[in-house]
Amino acid sequence: MAATLQTRASSINRALDQIGDKWCLLILQEIFWGVNTFNELLAASGMSRGVLSQRLQWLQDIDCLKKTNNKDKTNRPAYHLTRKSNDLYPNALAAIAWERAFFNTPELDQVTLRHSLCGKEFSPIVRCRSCNNEVLSEQVSYTQGPGQSQDLREMKVRRRSSISIMDAPSNKPFYKNLIHIVGDRWTANIVALAFHGFKRFDEFHKELPVATNILADRLRFLTTEGIFEMKAYQEKPKRHDYVFTDKGRGLYPFFLGLLQWGDKWCGGESGVPIIAKHDACGFDLKARTCCDQCLQTLEAHDVSFEGRQFN
């Protein structure tokens, strides 16, 4: 039997266990842009055929992809998004916005996102459906939901893979820096815990009881990547808090998207495991991703990507 790990049930973790693997994130990214046959995906991702086949099967098993034959004359099988994976659209927008804010990605600079309802170039912004204010991580608190429980999670092979997503040959690598951070399950779990207010090694370890060397490795990685900074809270012996930098905090819309997606698509019958409350208005948090120009909710069919890669 595969080794397992028990953690507090969380929709973010459930979402990550389904689609948080870097290859799955990369496949979904490519399919969002319309790259959808096996050979195109092979060329764009740099994966081996075996890994690609395995991930495509997994994404079909969890109802995030469906395979049909192309209606053009090639009649080749092609992979398409489902209702479930289409619901990850706000995450794709959040990922692009984060990449724009914190990295220099020349391919991305050449792309314009336009909102057809107002005709303007826009950035996505996350607002509360109740009070309409922008949702900031420090104004959201969490309490136990009706589905609060423990999840038994398979360990699988989750060493940080030596093949870097940064080397993927895709010509639309619009958020590979995000995949580089989020595409490792334990790394992403730690970021999620930090958004819940945890900041010390022992706190992380209590919630995520992986081997201490794995936890130390992921914390070091997140610090090196500029997601956390270390702040000493004790001198003898020296002890640190891991706190978000602006770049780290900037990942919040993506993680909030995972939370809402996991609540909707990865839940049990008993209800959500954790309730998020918007402290600014006191209501349970239901967020929407909207256009910063006209404030209307962004829908995939109202957004166009303009640029060389899309001509």
* Residues at the interface with Zn ion (CB under 5 A): 115, 118, 128, 130-131, 278, 280-281, 291, 293-294
CB of 279 to Zn ion, least distance (A): 8
Write out the two tokens for 148: 């609060």
Handedness of CA 14, 259, 264, 8 (dihedral sign): positive
* Closest CB 133 distance from Zn ion, rounded Å: 6
Peptide bond into 237 cis (omega under 30): yes
Shortest Cβ 272–Zn ion spacing (Å): 18
Residue whose CB is less far from Zn ion, 245 or 293: 293
User: Among 131, 100, 90, 127, which residue's Cα sits nearest to residue 295?
Assistant: 127
CA dihedral angle for residue 40, residue 41, residue 45, residue 49, rounded to 10 degrees: -110
| Shortest distance (Å) from residue 115 CB to Zn ion | 3
| Closer residue to Zn ion in complex, CB, 65/285 | 285
Closest residue by Cα to residue 86 from 128, 45, 28: 28
Smallest CA-to-CA distance from 252 within 220, 289, 282 is with: 289
Q: Of 61 and 121, which CB lies nearer to Zn ion in the complex structure? A: 121
- Nearer to Zn ion by Cβ, of 111 and 281: the residue is 281
What is the C-alpha to C-alpha distance for residues 206 and 209, in angstroms, rounded to an integer? 6
Q: Return the number of the residue (66 or 120) whose C-beta is nearest Zn ion.
A: 120
Asked if 16 contacts 188 with a C-beta cutoff of 8 angstroms, the reply is: yes
